[in-house]
Chain A
């Protein structure tokens, strides 16, 4: 018996069911792969070999007793370090939470455990999910498995890189402005941001409550649907959780994988393309649109005129929410406590200021200060109030566009992975990476990024984004699966087969 870690989660689930492998073998093989390549990739902040193997043994015992917990029982998973894991450190990529061990599980983590998936460890991220490159992690950058000198995207670069480097078959991510989809695009993997409220946020350390969503990070569209069905659904512990069943996602994938999109209307968003987008990214996008047309879809161009304001809207709403949320890191109840130097008997406020100075990185400080400004009296109406109104206009654009099309499509990210260090101290340049992904968060609609091929200029992966109306997550899976199967046929195998083998590599 052997465990082939290059197989998809769905295939591994079949292998477990047929007895071709065991969860212990599979988990050990993943841990071995992490041991072999993570020195170079640095996708993980924490590896829990003991806990993962214990969960794997329990899974094998359940299976032997004929009591399988879920379709993915026994398939190991990696978890972004922004999700609370009982007994396993959760740092959010920040010094201020260094060594913090949550006393409870996030709902999605509890669901993953109950479904029998061994948790391999916690993955690297930009500090508190603020960033598009994972360079803002306090624990060092994650390297893109396609080219170790380049960024893996962000904020969930760790989860995407872990999956792309075959260190984990699947992972959990979170997406506030593109943090699942953009890393997916630049690492040649699949990422889904579910409808806002479709997956519980309980135990997700909040960046921006009205934008954050947990979702799957995988190598195939089917794997994403399988994981989405494990983590999705109503949670009474999250007051924004949608109290209705998920659409049939795996079924939508099977329907889409037939490659027939007759009757599906696809809208190409005029404002998400052209200037600022890399030629190779646009070329792969265009080819994908042609493939979908050949599959029977009706393609129309739609205009969402207010999308040009989405980035500015986001960078007012997000810092405003983040500055409120991160006020909880006050050095009193958990996390770092730093006493100011040269102060006798410092006050709680002195300690809070010194702790936040020492515990937060530059990007977090930038956004907290920006949010504090946007919410301060005298500026509130001009900034935060205005952004909330433009948010309405963006949602109205979506509503009109979805009258003309069942799904909307665009490139996921304007460029392929850029070199580490290029944009780390240029906030505006960094923010532009999320140009195409942000509108979905502002309006709460679901989106997927599917690999569309390699850009001619640099041979690096590009992503194809599909957006659907709120609650119609099944549509992104259907169209995503169709595109995936058409491209696989064209490529003759998965895109990741062309990524370098990392054994022996060093960063």
Chain B
């Protein structure tokens, strides 16, 4: 499987990842990403279909705790890094667009 990413594909992926890229960045990043993709494509066919996937190296089981209140951040602490706040809440730009 040969892999490469066109400039348009990189622009689309950047949109999915919510990153604006300048024209210069697209010119710069697209060829680099193709080189990386080409290299990682060497994995194709290494593992047969019956090999189970690993998500974590050591076996994990769900961890539970008692449903009791534990110390946590105060509202002031939680908001301490907020770019904007109002009425003890995070203040954010509008969420919906005109067409929505």
Contact = CB atoms under 8 A, between A and B. Distances in A.
Given A312-B42, A370-B37, A389-B47, A349 B53 contact: no
Band of interface residues on A? 35 or more
Interface in A306-320: 306, 309, 311-313, 315-316
A415 B57 CA distance: 28
Contacts of B32: 366, 427
Contacts of A239: 60, 62-63
By secondary structure, the A interface counts as helix
Interface string B65-100: 100000001000110111110000010111111000
A36 interface: no
B7 to A, nearest CB: 12
A388 B44 contact: no
B92 A348 contact: yes
Contacts of B57: 196, 210, 391, 395, 442-445, 470
Interface stretch (A131-139, A273-281, A352-360, A479-487): A352-360
A104 B36 contact: no
Nearest to A321: B55
> Which of A102, A356, A443 has the largest count of B CB atoms less than 10 A from its CB?
A356
Interface stretch (A14-22, A112-120, A287-295, A326-334): A326-334
Nearest to A356: B19
Interface residues on B, range: 35 or more
A332 B92 contact: yes
A12 B56 CA distance: 39
Contact of B46 (A348, A356, A393): A393
A328 B7 CA distance: 26
B46 A470 contact: no
Interface in B2-44: 5, 9-10, 13-22, 25, 28-29, 32-33, 35-37, 39-44
B81 A333 contact: yes
Contact of B29 (A365, A385, A388, A443): A365
- The 5 tightest CB contacts between A and B, nearest first, are A444-B57, A334-B81, A388-B53, A389-B47, A337-B83
20 contacts: A101-B81, A196-B58, A240-B60, A242-B58, A309-B43, A315-B39, A332-B90, A348-B92, A348-B95, A356-B17, A365-B25, A365-B29, A369-B14, A369-B19, A390-B46, A395-B54, A427-B36, A428-B35, A442-B57, A444-B56
